[in-house]
Structure 1
């Protein structure tokens, strides 16, 4: 079904693509199923395995989203999660998503398509892109079960470079930036590179880098990508709703710092749920959470340490100085 009919309640955007200079949104049916998977793409793959979603599809121009939003109750985000990558952001989104009545969206592809829209279509105005981002994120806040009370969005790591766009679209929504000792992040990507480290999947320009740099040594390219992620957070001098969190503060910082910053208060039962979620491996929930910082430091080669010193150590030092100088937030009850 394309264009003429809007999907009913229970459908979510699962992809967005360009056709004839129009951004079109593909939808799949999720019903009341909560999104418990570590990443939104995991939830999409699970949904697409259902015969119903292979037989029935909706595709609509993005300009029809306001009409759909008017007909479907939805929440506005309580907080955005920006991150350096491999620094605990999935753990944070999984913990918050485990709370009763929570919606936690993690790295949804349609959001990135909108963030990247003006790079694909330079004729798109800044005002239209802001509206598209507002509509798309609101669509993910759909109240499919009826008990939803909070909504958090974890973004892709390269979205730090689009902070101004998010602040324009959601000027009152608080946000956090999670980061980690760069040596440990580099070791993680050396073991298993993330898609952001593969320029054929995520262009070097998304990190403020010349595309020609994608042909340099992979280890140095990885370090420069991480620098490109962190630089905007170092340059962003005003508080502007932001809070810096170091990986080593997790998981305790979720309840002591992040939830108060997002204005989320919990009762004793919900704190138990949060603690249980924080005890599990975020990307493999069947396993227990283990702090692997010592192992990563042990495995760091001289090359990794040299690259960290060259491209990241000063950025990390400045982030730490900003974090230690930031004010403490106070919880605000949702009730």
Structure 2
């Protein structure tokens, strides 16, 4: 009896998952028609008849990742092989689940984790094979010896954190995960789920970090660049990773505010992170005051924790030299002298637009700061900035 199209597809997908060499071959194909031809040929070689038209139907484009909003079923309890990374936490009929995307050997090369997700989702293999696993099974799926971050990057936004992440990512063998959405989801869940035992919440944080760093090669460095609002989760992260060092990047607040009012980051928009994470009461606050208040509350957990040995303050003015001379030693990551040209090349590019040359704009930002921005900075941010500078310089 000839298997139905659905059964044949499932048979071949199972074969791909069981054969790393076959998965790697398919994962390296970018063009859809080439992919369809190889799938049909490889299936036939295994005694599976696949109609190319049926294969093509499974590859309907989803460039925006809209599939993650559908209540699709779980595909299995165990996480997929090492070529796959979590793309997002989604709702499934049985609870939160992880959607995975194919990374292969290409690495996390974009300025942000989301850039790599878009690249991975565009590959035919990510549309042909869908992995969706229960979030609750992740801790037991990750080996006890899973990757632990060497460093965590906290930041006040618009102060060089992307540059630092790109410089670290330029080091051969280093794994830098920049603002990964799945880690954000887990941190917010762990912070809010106070009814759950702390051990379970910490295990979930550790497991998500481990699977995001599963391409880490020992000794080369594994760093997570966090979102700016994750300073609120610093106590949880310190419990989850007691041996991991962290840095906090900040900048003259007038320059940060001027940058935000050139183009607002979504976290500074009313009704979002400010309320849900920091509990800001918006009533009576101007846009400038709301943004400055948010930045003030972002600083507060850092100021509470900076006296310990794990943290280090880095002012934007110290970059890029601080990466080699302060940040790498603090994270315990050795710098091979041969890698210095790669660091220098990363500093020459605009961190958020890698194909353009970096051009400093500090003076322009200070000139364009409005009177309302200056007043908000004076009210909310001058004092925290002075405290950060005193702690950093020992003054």
Fold shared per TM-score above 0.5: yes
| Residue 256 of structure 2 corresponds to residue 185 of structure 1 | yes
Name the counterpart of 2:59: none
Which secondary structure state, in structure 2, belongs to the residue aligned with residue 190 of structure 1?
Answer: helix
Relative distance call for 1:310 and 1:47 in structure 2 (3 A) is same
Structure 1: which 5+ residue stretches go unaligned? 327-335
Corresponding residue to 1:29 among 94, 102, 112: 102
Range 24-33 or range 311-320, more displaced: 24-33
Report 1:203-222 matches (<5 A).
203-210=274-281, 213=282, 216-222=285-291
> What is the alpha-carbon distance in structure 2 between the residues aligned to residue 168 and residue 147 of structure 1?
23
The Cα shift of 1:14 comes to 0.8
> What is the alpha-carbon distance in structure 1 between the residues aligned to residue 207 and residue 284 of structure 2?
37
Corresponding residue to 2:348 among 271, 274, 279: 279
Name the counterpart of 2:89: 16
> What is the alpha-carbon distance in structure 2 between the residues aligned to residue 88 and residue 214 of structure 1?
32
Name the counterpart of 1:236: 305
**Conserved? CA contact 2:77–2:137, under 8 Å:** no
Name the counterpart of 1:104: 176
Corresponding residue to 1:310 among 341, 364, 379: 379
> What is the alpha-carbon distance in structure 2 between the residues aligned to residue 161 and residue 147 of structure 1?
30
What RMSD over aligned residues (CA atoms) do the two structures have, in Å?
A: 2.1
Q: Which has the larger radius of gyration?
A: 2
**Conserved? CA contact 1:161–1:229, under 8 Å:** yes
The C-alpha deviation readout for 1:166-185, integer Å capped at 9, x for no partner, is 00000010000000000000
| Residue 368 of structure 2 corresponds to residue 299 of structure 1 | yes
Name the counterpart of 2:70: none
Report 1:1-335 matches (<5 A).
2-19=75-92, 22-70=95-143, 74-118=146-190, 121-143=193-215, 149-210=220-281, 213=282, 216-325=285-394
Structure 2: which 5+ residue stretches go unaligned? 1-73
Which secondary structure state, in structure 2, belongs to the residue aligned with residue 287 of structure 1?
Answer: strand
Count how many residue pairs are aligned between Structure 1 and Structure 2.
322
The C-alpha deviation readout for 1:124-159, integer Å capped at 9, x for no partner, is 232211110000001011127x68821110000000
The C-alpha deviation readout for 1:209-248, integer Å capped at 9, x for no partner, is 23xx178422211111111111111222522300000001
Which secondary structure state, in structure 1, belongs to the residue aligned with residue 152 of structure 2?
Answer: strand
Which secondary structure state, in structure 1, belongs to the residue aligned with residue 358 of structure 2?
Answer: coil
Which secondary structure state, in structure 1, belongs to the residue aligned with residue 132 of structure 2?
Answer: strand
TM-score, normalised on structure 2? 0.77
> What is the alpha-carbon distance in structure 1 between the residues aligned to residue 211 and residue 294 of structure 2?
30
TM-score, normalised on structure 1? 0.90
Relative distance call for 1:155 and 1:209 in structure 2 (3 A) is same
The Cα shift of 1:120 comes to 5.6
Range 255-264 or range 74-83, more displaced: 74-83
> What is the alpha-carbon distance in structure 2 between the residues aligned to residue 174 and residue 147 of structure 1?
17
Range 247-256 or range 227-236, more displaced: 227-236
> What is the alpha-carbon distance in structure 1 between the residues aligned to residue 160 and residue 79 of structure 2?
37
The Cα shift of 1:260 comes to 0.8
> What is the alpha-carbon distance in structure 2 between the residues aligned to residue 169 and residue 122 of structure 1?
15
Which secondary structure state, in structure 1, belongs to the residue aligned with residue 153 of structure 2?
Answer: strand
> What is the alpha-carbon distance in structure 2 between the residues aligned to residue 260 and residue 148 of structure 1?
13
**Conserved? CA contact 1:103–1:150, under 8 Å:** yes
